[in-house]
Amino acid sequence: MPKQPVEHFYSEKELHEMVDRINAFSIDYSSWKITQARKEHQDLFGEVIKPGDNYFKYQRGPGFDDVIKLSALSMERLCFALFESTVSLKPIADQILEQRQKRMFKAMSKLSILGNRKDEKGDPSGGNRNR
């Protein structure tokens, strides 16, 4: 079967945003990650990934080779099929990402406050070091 001309649905930045949306539905340490091919691979859908090409991988298990690989083109097609056919999926993913970001900022601010308290307790000048 002859290959169809490559049709891109998203810019590179938009594709990364779409992959972030897919990752919203997974746990943090098990998500799609972008990597650069050092050798030729074939992805899940039969697309060839050439050395130097960026592609996406998903670690399914503990084994080094227990990985699902998708070329950038295959990932773009997957994202298009998922998010354009199910219009309610994109807002749900965005909401999950927003909630994660809020939790992260809240945790970071707590760490920052605790760090500042330790500095003030250890500094006899009351935290004003530039007097």
What does the pLDDT look like over 6-50, one tens digit per residue?
678 899 999 999 999 999 998 777 899 999 999 999 999 999 999
Q: Do the beta carbons of residue 68 and residue 58 sit within 8 Å? A: yes
Q: How confident is the model at residue 87 (pLDDT cuts 50, 70, 90)?
A: confident
Average pLDDT over residues 80-86: 90
Average pLDDT over residues 55-59: 94
Q: Do the beta carbons of residue 54 and residue 41 sit within 8 Å? A: no
Tell me the residue type at 77.
R
* Top-confidence residue, 124 or 6: 6
What phi, psi does 65 have (nearest 5°)?
-95, 10
List the Cα angle 55/49/93 in 5-degree steps. Answer: 30
Average pLDDT over residues 91-105: 90
How distant, in Å, are the alpha carbons of 65, 70, 73, 125 from that of 46? 17, 9, 11, 66
Per-residue pLDDT at 131: 43
